[in-house]
Amino acid sequence: MPGAPNRPPEVAASPVPPPAAEPARAVLRRLAPSRIALHLDPWKGNPSAELLDPLDRAARLYAEGDLAGAAGALDQLSTRLAEPRWPTLPRPFRDLRVTVTVPQPPAWDPENALPAEEKASRRRRRDAELQRDLAHASLAWAKAHGIAVDDLEPARAQADSALASPGVPEEFWPAIDSIWSTLLERVPAPRRAGRPAAAPGPS
């Protein structure tokens, strides 16, 4: 229209990247499987206090809402689990350890030439697959030890179905998080030497 100010050309909106996991969810996805990991047979029912201390601290800080502190305690636990003096955990729990990488030339990395967005997409997919595998193994352990988990079967099936598609569909994470939140309530904390196992929290 004559006399109207020039309008800048319309620019297509840039795609909004998927939001990072909420800090509470990110801690939950490490805390619940870590608790089960210290119940596994390699510890013979008596995991070291050097492992139990950071796990207990993470659980307490998570309950208090100190998510940064809880994440730090889980970092300490994953670092200690990587030390060669401990028994080797079965997969997928072994992947809860901190990853120790050996420096190598970038050309040796098969993903080095990929665009950053593709690298991030692959990393998200690997993270989701690990969560799925941890959930499967954790549910199997819980069922074998008399902990009721049949009601979590729909969530497990939903997570499996979601990952049948490429990428990480949105419906995957609510299903996984419902499994972890329930297991964290029902699985008691690993016992310390000379002490009975703590009772599960209220459901």
- pLDDT tens for 162-189 read 999 888 998 999 999 999 999 999 999 9
Could you give the C-alpha distances from 167 to 66, 120, 162, 184, in angstroms and in order? 31, 11, 9, 27
Q: How many angstroms separate the CA atoms of 165 and 200, rounded? A: 36
32 closest CA partner among 202, 180, 147: 180
Where exactly are the structural domains of the chain?
23-99+115-186
Q: How many angstroms separate the CA atoms of 42 and 34, rounded? A: 14
pTM of the predicted model, to two decimals?
Answer: 0.79
Q: How many angstroms separate the CA atoms of 30 and 157, rounded? A: 21
Q: What is the pLDDT of residues 66-86, one digit of tens each?
A: 999 999 999 999 999 999 999
Q: How many angstroms separate the CA atoms of 53 and 24, rounded? A: 20
Q: How many angstroms separate the CA atoms of 76 and 184, rounded? A: 20
